[in-house]
Structure 1
């Protein structure tokens, strides 16, 4: 079959799919289309075709627009432009509805779970929320972002989803060609470019974390997730809890508060610098013990007392079968799972189900407006 790369044709756009695109069909093949919305009639240009049953394309002309379509907020959030934003052409309410559809579809298809899903907005609106940004410098020394599924750098003069004190602090200056920039603004409104120590506040505590390390990009996300974890843990004084993929210890802090000085919390983080920061930030909580190591390795070694409750916040690929089975083998009564990828969450929910754990509750948050990313917190109980 000849490649369709660069070919243009009309399609009627079907449902949203996981990954920031919608599904269309043409001449018996699936076409994953960006820059469009369900129900639209568009002209697409094929951007990637590796043969097989599908290809990828951008909507380059809208013939029949969705009522949810709005003007984009950024001049490079267009076909061939920056790959960071997926849904700038959709109203904020429509973005949340699209994400809810994706979560529900992934749970239904991968976990066999049917439940209503609502994606909740966080304070502040859909713009100027991103407090941590990674940029790449092009060959002319201009900072920008990668194009979609490409190493090509798209230089920018601004970024409407980035908080003031980030992108606006580095554009208009020349940087070493090919270099990477990590830019953040912390809770004290201090800008950091590259290494540094940021001050953040969440869960009624102050945190000192690496400015180029991991902390939630949305300024309200850490507090909201910590509140949900605390409410759903159901812990009692004197019990044991685990915080897996603990980062700098956010959830360990609320678990420690719940179990009190007579209980215990085991926090496990594979990235040693983050584990060291967790130990420093939680030094006043004697009931917390931090382990630096891969979660599967620490659990395989049988560390920590059997937990009443396990909280886990794995990377985008999810926890996986080995970790799930290690958790259930230690007999917790409930698991609180924080997930940044609905497909990975659904696969792990299916694995938990084979061991007698059911999905009892789910909350989803639009912590990444204008993008396809969404954060979920799931409660699984025996």
Structure 2
């Protein structure tokens, strides 16, 4: 199972959205056929590349340099590529290990891509993917190191939010890769003890329920929300401890929040270190969610500055308003970002700094063109998909902006997902700034 997407495109382990009609592939199905391949390098999406009879085969459950027997899971004799699982390892890579999760292999839960190696090598695989996407799609040759984030042990027991699918018998479980089937499970090794102890994991009798959302917050609350439900989503509280102070947030239990316990602090710190906000500056925060970045940016620019946080989800924008209520120079706006940047050019034209945290598809040419036309001195782009980031960085280059710094973080250990923070500055170079106040 590919981890499904939340409102903002982030992976929400355990449930897939409904698919629309799909065109049936032409030709004779090769599903179930087995053959031996030599595995090449890692590819974007949690698999590695191999070749058979002149066609590319995207193989899961393998590592670069291995020789494996694969079983085709998708494709015909006329498709340009095949998908397959490695069902037998003939020559193992030195980084291979026995997966700690009993349902992580072929035909099992699809939420994790790299249980068959340790978290450190998983980070190296992700770094290779980011470097290749930047090179291929943006023409950028940049060094990339995916950093470990404090808050998990060996890539396990870090996930604070989990979406469980429910089968027709009312049993809660997880999906296989690219499947709507449900595998009942008693545990999820990447979920925190609080999530596993919520009573939802392994539960039965969930009749009339399609899914269960579990949220274990930093303030100690554990909330299980059935879907669908006629009741409003419960409101929960989250805290982010920064340098010498703590930020408090309210949001829906089913709304978007970073699922790794160290993620929010890591990303806010990376954005602040990249932008270096100053008193009196004007900041636009696009795809602002419940105000994670806007809250601290407002504290940094002070009452002589201004922060405008734009969010397309109504409930998230309402909560952003609540979270910024004590800061009169910060405003939360509920609006479609693409429409807002084209219809409200004045705030962007005046902005010194911009934060972009778009969905998995990226910001896109229209948004980048509008925001960079105002020539902000710096843009922090928070990206959950390296391919979308690379495409947008290529656009930014044509609009006169360069990558000043790029950091990558392992916010989703054992999966192929990686979070990047790119700081963009005008090609002619950023202005000289005074040293930052470490407070």
Q: Shift of residue 374 of structure 1?
A: 0.6
Partner of 2:35: 9
Quote the Cα distance in structure 1 between the aligned partners of 2:174 and 2:203. Answer: 15
SS of residue paired to 2:72: strand
Matched, 1:163 2:153: no
Counterpart CA distance in 2 for 1:230 and 1:68 is 36
Q: CA RMSD in A?
A: 1.2
CA distance in 2, matches of 1:189, 1:253: 22
1:49 aligns with 2:87: no
Query: Residues 324 and 331 of structure 2 are in contact (CA less than 8 Å); yes or no, is this contact kept in structure 1?
Result: no
Indicate yes or no: 2:187 matched with 1:141.
no
Query: 1:108, 1:19 → 2: CA distance?
Result: 17
TM-score, normalised relative to structure 2: 0.85
Q: Could you tell me which residue of structure 2 aligns to residue 247 of structure 1?
A: 289
Equivalent position to 2:413, from 357, 362, 369: 369
CA distance in 2, matches of 1:161, 1:182: 15
The answer to whether residue 347 in structure 2 is matched with residue 304 in structure 1 is: yes
Which moved further from structure 2: 227-236 or 150-159? 227-236
5-14 vs 253-262, greater mean Cα deviation: 253-262
Distance (whole Å) between structure 2 residues aligned to residue 297 and residue 190 of structure 1: 37
Find 2:122's aligned residue among 95, 103, 123: 95
Q: What is the CA–CA distance in structure 2 between the aligned matches of 1:84 and 1:277, rounded to whole Å? A: 29
After superposition, the C-alpha distances for 1:299-353 in whole angstroms (9 at most, x for unaligned) are: 1112525111100100000000100001111221111000000000000000000
- Quick check: 1:18 aligned with 2:44? yes
Aligned match of 1:289: 331
Q: Secondary structure of 1:304's partner? A: helix
Give distance in 2, aligned partners of 1:75 and 1:130.
Answer: 18
Residues in 2 aligned to 1:355 and 1:179: alpha-carbon distance in whole angstroms: 45
- Deviation readout 1:27-69 (Å, 9 max, x if unpaired): 0110000000000000000000053220100000000001111
Q: What's the CA shift for 1:178?
A: 5.4
Between the aligned partners of 2:264 and 2:277, the Cα distance in structure 1 is 20
8 Å contact from structure 1 (residues 139, 178) kept in 2: no
2:235 pairs with one of 180, 184, 197 = 197
8 Å contact kept, 1:267–1:290? yes
- Map Cα deviations across residues 52-108 of structure 1 (whole Å, 9 max, x no partner): 220100000000001111111211101011110000001111100000000000000
Q: Is the 8 A contact 2:274 2:405 kept in 1?
A: no
User: Aligned partners of 1:251, 1:378: CA distance in 2, in Å?
Assistant: 15
**What is the CA distance between 1:209 and its match in structure 2?**
1.3
| 2:436 matched residue in structure 1 | none
Q: For residues 95 and 119 of structure 2, what CA distance do their matches in structure 1 show?
A: 9
Q: Does 1:272 align with 2:314?
A: yes
* Distance (whole Å) between structure 1 residues aligned to residue 222 and residue 209 of structure 2: 22
Deviation at 1:174, TM superposition (A): 2.1
What secondary structure, in the 3-state scheme, does the structure 1 residue paired with 2:390 have?
A: helix
Query: Which moved further from structure 2: 254-263 or 174-183?
Result: 174-183
| 2-structure distance, mates of 1:265, 1:30 | 48
Question: Residue 325 in 1 paired to residue 354 in 2?
Answer: no
Q: Which residue of 2 aligns with 1:187?
A: 218
Deviation by residue 1:99-131 (Cα, 9 ceiling, x = unmatched): 000000000000000011000001122111000
Q: 2:88 aligns with which of 44, 48, 61?
A: 61
After the TM superposition, list the runs of 4 or more consecutive aligned residues in structure 1 that deviate by more than 4 angstroms. Answer: none
Contact 1:73–1:88 (CA under 8 A) maintained in structure 2: yes
For structure 1, the 5+ residue unaligned runs are none
Say whether the 8 Å CA contact 1:167–1:183 is kept in structure 2. Answer: no
CA distance in 2 between counterparts of 1:31 and 1:114 reads: 26
**Aligned counterparts of 1:337 and 1:211: Cα–Cα separation in 2:** 26
Aligned residues: 382
Q: Measure, in 1, the Cα distance between the counterparts of 2:424 and 2:205.
A: 50
Residue 381, structure 1, aligned to residue 425, structure 2: yes
2:61 pairs, out of 17, 32, 35, with 35
Quote the offset at 1:177 in angstroms: 5.4
Cα shift readout 1:158-215 (whole Å, capped 9, x = no counterpart)? 0000111223421233212551111111112221011322221114211111111010
TM-score normalised per structure 1: 0.98
The 10-residue stretch of structure 1 (5-14 or 47-56) with the greater mean CA deviation from structure 2: 47-56
